[in-house]
Amino acid sequence: MSTSPLNLPSKASVVIIGGGIQGLACAFNLAELGVTGVVVLDAGYWQGGASGRNGTLIRGGFGTPEWTGLFQYSNQAWQSLSRSLGYNAMFTRRGYMMVAETDRTADMLHSITGIHAQYGVRNEMIRGARIAEVLPAIDGRQVKCALMLPEGGVAPHHAAMKALLHACEDRGIMVRYRTPVTGIERTGGRVAGVTVGEHRIAADSVMVAAGGHNPEVAALAGVTLPGFGMRIEAMALEPVRPLIRPAIALIDSLCYMHQTGRGEVVGGTEVPERPRMSLSTDLPVLAQTAAVYARLFPRLRTLRVLRHWAGLIHATPDYAPLIGEHPDLKDLWFSAGWSYGWAGGPGTGILLARAIARGEVDSRIAPFAIDRFARGKPLKDPAIVL
């Protein structure tokens, strides 16, 4: 295979645009299926996108069959990911607690237990004194009930991404950061390749997993995607002794959080704002997050904020991902629109690789097709924090 002065090939079987968890997971699974000549190109630096700037929380249970089917499959993939990759992704199955502060959310949590049972998601409804046993740091007077998902947990960015990268490189996948794709070529209604500056890479398929920049990359191919770029923010508190074991979603407060192995409490609160593509942070967002922490976890009130950062996502009208081949351009695939992309990465990587390599569109990704809005099939889920 010939290469350019940039050390890029002139031909690839699959070019993946985006080197975050979605891109690397798909690349790894393509190689596992025997596909050679896979190239991953990322315009940014290593872990500079959403895969290095998220809450690291992982769960399988949501509020609809579509979301639960996909994310339960991915939750299971997380549990075996280290073994599959041959490197430690450091997934910790510490549990994931969905907390209801209102009667309405409590009713919703009760209603979704049947969906969870249908897809094999283990859960436990927690109320009363049991809340203090599982989560002693929370002010139980403000909690109606909670739904615990014992197989959920967290996985730190540095470990999981390093594991994926090394596993890809071991399998001969070319991964290049700081290498922006400047064009996507199309011929006769199908994708033909990509360009990087003056260099052209012919490709049988192109897969786009560019995080918050997905709409811009889609435009390079002359197609559109539903949704828009959006900024989210998170913060970390100074380390303290263990107070919070499970990962937590405070559904009514639009807040998510967990405590790291170093003792830092990490999380964020979604604050309605005008969507904008910026990594700058805002004091109002920090203040809103701190207010939720202080109200529900009184022991956190005196702690200092160590870090406050922002990340970019591509948000869709229903905040569900867009997975599959673009209806307007054959062999152009997307793993886009993610608001829970870290949790969904390993499972989607398996299913999307099968679709690209074998043409098998699994029933767990089919509902997330790009044209679902045009068909009147949105996938709004009541159990998300966004």
359-377 pLDDT per residue, tens: 999 999 999 999 999 999 9
CA-to-CA distance for 146 and 128, rounded, in angstroms? 10
Closest among 339, 336, 327, 26 to 210, alpha carbons compared: 336
Count the Cβ atoms, other than its own, within 10 Å of residue 42.
26
What is the band of 4 on the pLDDT scale with cuts at 50, 70, 90?
low
Grouping H, G, I as helix, E, B as strand and the rest as coil, residue 160 is helix
> Would you say residue 1 has pLDDT above 50?
no
Closest among 50, 58, 62 to 75, alpha carbons compared: 58
pLDDT at res. 277: 59
Q: Which two tokens stand for residue 160?
A: 């999981």
What is this structure's pTM? 0.94
115-125: average pLDDT: 97
pLDDT at res. 228: 86
Q: Which two tokens stand for residue 314?
A: 């591509």
Closest among 130, 183, 150 to 75, alpha carbons compared: 150
